[in-house]
C-alpha cells in the first residue's frame, strides 16, 4: 500500500474520536447515579462499562477488514451514525437490561471510529513522524475525555444521567454528515479473504508480542482507571465533584500533547513509553494510598500523562507492524486493548462494591509493571517495518 503524498488532515476527522471519547468516558461518573436510579448495586451496573469495553474489543477486526476493503472514511461515517442511534437507545433505556444491551451496542459500533482514524493517519504519514500526527488526534481525545467526565457528572447532578448520552450521540451524527467529501486515504483496496487477512497479521511475531502486551495496556490504561471517579463517590463526593476531578485526566492529556513534539524530537520512543508507564504506576500507588480528592486528582493527572506518552507509542507501533494490512492489524490491537479493559473492569467490580479501592489500585500498579519493563524493552528492539522488510528477516529477528 502506498501512502498518498498529501498529508493535510481535515480537522472534522478529529471530531469523530472526540464524540466517541466523550461517550466512553462518561460512564465512570454515571455508574453510581445509574445504580441509584435502578435501585441496584454498583457491581451490577458496572456491566455498563465492562460490556462496552468488551464490545469495543470484540468488533474492531470487522472494521479493520472493512476499512482495508472499502475505505477508511466510509467506515468512520457509518460507525458515527450508528453511535448516534445507540446513544439514543441508552438514554431511553427503561431498565438495566436494556441499558446493558444499548451500551454493548454502542461499544460495538464506536470502535469503528478511533482505530480507523489512526489508520487514516498512518496511510498519510511515514512511521518516523507518525506519532506526532497521532498525538494531534489526542488533543481531541483529551477534549472528548474531559467533556465526557465533566459533562456527565454535571448533567447527572443537574438533570439526570440519561440526558448526557444525547450529547455525544448528536455530535456523532453531525460529524458523520460533516465527513462527506473528505478524501479517502486508502489507495490499494484489499481483496483477500478476511480470515486469511487476520491470519496473515497473526503470523507476524512482532504483532503477536504487541497484542499480548496490549491486553495488559488496556487493563491498566482503561480498565482500572474507570474506578477513579467511583472511588471518590464512595467516599462521599457527589457525581459532579467526582466528574470534575477525574476530568483532569483529559486536561492532562491536552497539556502533555502540547509538549509531546518537543520531547519526541529528543527522546527515543522506548523511553517515552517507559516514562508514561512510570507515571501510571505512580498514579495508581497514590490512589491506593488514599482516595481523597487530592490523591485521585493527582492519579488522574498522571494517568492522562501516561495516555499521551505510553498509549500513543503503542498506537503508533500498532500501525506499523503489518503495513500491508494496516487496518486489520490496528483493529486487532484495539481488540486486545479493550479486551484487557473489559477484564480489568469486570474483575475489579467486586473490590469496588466492597469499597476496597486501596487494594484495587495497588493491584493496578502491579499489573502496570510488566508493561513498563517488557513494553519498553520490546519497543527499543523494534526496528520498524521498513528495516524488517529491507533485511528480509523474521519479524522478531
Asked whether residue 29 is domain-assigned, the answer is: yes
| Structural domain count of the chain | 1
Asked whether residue 1 is domain-assigned, the answer is: no
Asked whether residue 396 is domain-assigned, the answer is: no
Least confident of 169-178, 239-248, 346-355: 239-248
| Mean pLDDT in residue range 305-332 | 85
Separation CA 158–CA 29 (nearest Å): 13
Asked whether residue 6 is domain-assigned, the answer is: no
- State pLDDT tens for residues 220-234: 998 899 899 889 888
Task: List, in order, residues 6 or more apart from 101 with CB less than 8 Å away.
Answer: 89
Q: Which domain holds residue 279?
A: 11-391
Give the domain CATH number at 87: 1.20.1250.20
Q: What percent of the chain has pLDDT over 90?
A: 37
Separation CA 42–CA 21 (nearest Å): 22
Task: List, in order, residues 6 or more apart from 38 with CB less than 8 Å away.
Answer: 45, 95, 96
Give, in order, the Cα–Cα distances in Å from 259 to each of 134, 165, 282, 308, 309.
Answer: 14, 32, 20, 10, 10
Asked whether residue 160 is domain-assigned, the answer is: yes
Asked whether residue 3 is domain-assigned, the answer is: no
Asked whether residue 234 is domain-assigned, the answer is: yes
Separation CA 348–CA 325 (nearest Å): 35
- State pLDDT tens for residues 151-180: 888 888 888 889 999 999 999 999 999 998
Q: Which residue has the cell 448526557?
A: 164
Q: Is the pLDDT of residue 386 over 60?
A: no
- State pLDDT tens for residues 248-272: 887 888 888 888 878 878 888 899 9
| Mean pLDDT in residue range 345-371 | 92
The terminus-to-terminus CA distance of the chain in angstroms comes to 23
Higher pLDDT, 28 or 19: 19
The pLDDT assigned to 85 comes to: 96
Amino acid at each position: 500500500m502506498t501512502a498518498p503524498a498529501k498529508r493535510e488532515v481535515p480537522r472534522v476527522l478529529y471530531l469523530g474520536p472526540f464524540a466517541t471519547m466523550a461517550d466512553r468516558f462518561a460512564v465512570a461518573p454515571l455508574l453510581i447515579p445509574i445504580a441509584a436510579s435502578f435501585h441496584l448495586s454498583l457491581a451490577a451496573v458496572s456491566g455498563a462499562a465492562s460490556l462496552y469495553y468488551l464490545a469495543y474489543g470484540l468488533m474492531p477486526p470487522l472494521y479493520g477488514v472493512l476499512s482495508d476493503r472499502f475505505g477508511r472514511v466510509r467506515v468512520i461515517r457509518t460507525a458515527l451514525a450508528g453511535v448516534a442511534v445507540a446513544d439514543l437507545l441508552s438514554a431511553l433505556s427503561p431498565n438495566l437490561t436494556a441499558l446493558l444491551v444499548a451500551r454493548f451496542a454502542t461499544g460495538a459500533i464506536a470502535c469503528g471510529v478511533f482505530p480507523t482514524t489512526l489508520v487514516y493517519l498512518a496511510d498519510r504519514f511515514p512511521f518516523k513522524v507518525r506519532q506526532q500526527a497521532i498525538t494531534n488526534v489526542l488533543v481531541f481525545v483529551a477534549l472528548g475525555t474531559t467533556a465526557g467526565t465533566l459533562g456527565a457528572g454535571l448533567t447527572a447532578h443537574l438533570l439526570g444521567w440519561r440526558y448526557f448520552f444525547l450529547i455525544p450521540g448528536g455530535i456523532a451524527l453531525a460529524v458523520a454528515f460533516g465527513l462527506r467529501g473528505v478524501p479517502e486515504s486508502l489507495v490499494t483496496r484489499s481483496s483477500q479473504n478476511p480470515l486469511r487477512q487476520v491470519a496473515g497479521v497473526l503470523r507476524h511475531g512482532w504483532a503477536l508480542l504487541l497484542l499480548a502486551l496490549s491486553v495488559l495496556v488496556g487493563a491498566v490504561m482503561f480498565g482500572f482507571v474507570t474506578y477513579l471517579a467511583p472511588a471518590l463517590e464512595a467516599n462521599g463526593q457527589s457525581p459532579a465533584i467526582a466528574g470534575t476531578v477525574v476530568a483532569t485526566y483529559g486536561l492532562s492529556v491536552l497539556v502533555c500533547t502540547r509538549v509531546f513534539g518537543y520531547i519526541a524530537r529528543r527522546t527515543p520512543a522506548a523511553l517515552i513509553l517507559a516514562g508514561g508507564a512510570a507515571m501510571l504506576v505512580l498514579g495508581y500507588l497514590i490512589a491506593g494510598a488514599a482516595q481523597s480528592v487530592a490523591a485521585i486528582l493527582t492519579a488522574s493527572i498522571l494517568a492522562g500523562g501516561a495516555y499521551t506518552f505510553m498509549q500513543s507509542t503503542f498506537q503508533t507501533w500498532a500501525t506499523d507492524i503489518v503495513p500491508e494490512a494496516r487496518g486489520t492489524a490496528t483493529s486487532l490491537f484495539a481488540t486486545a486493548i479493550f479486551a484487557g479493559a473489559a477484564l480489568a473492569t469486570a474483575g475489579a467490580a467486586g473490590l469496588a462494591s466492597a469499597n476496597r479501592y486501596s487494594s484495587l489500585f495497588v493491584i493496578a500498579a502491579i499489573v502496570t509493571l510488566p508493561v513498563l519493563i517488557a513494553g519498553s524493552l520490546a519497543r527499543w528492539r523494534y526496528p520498524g517495518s521498513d528495516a524488517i522488510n529491507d533485511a528480509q528477516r523474521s519479524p522478531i529477528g
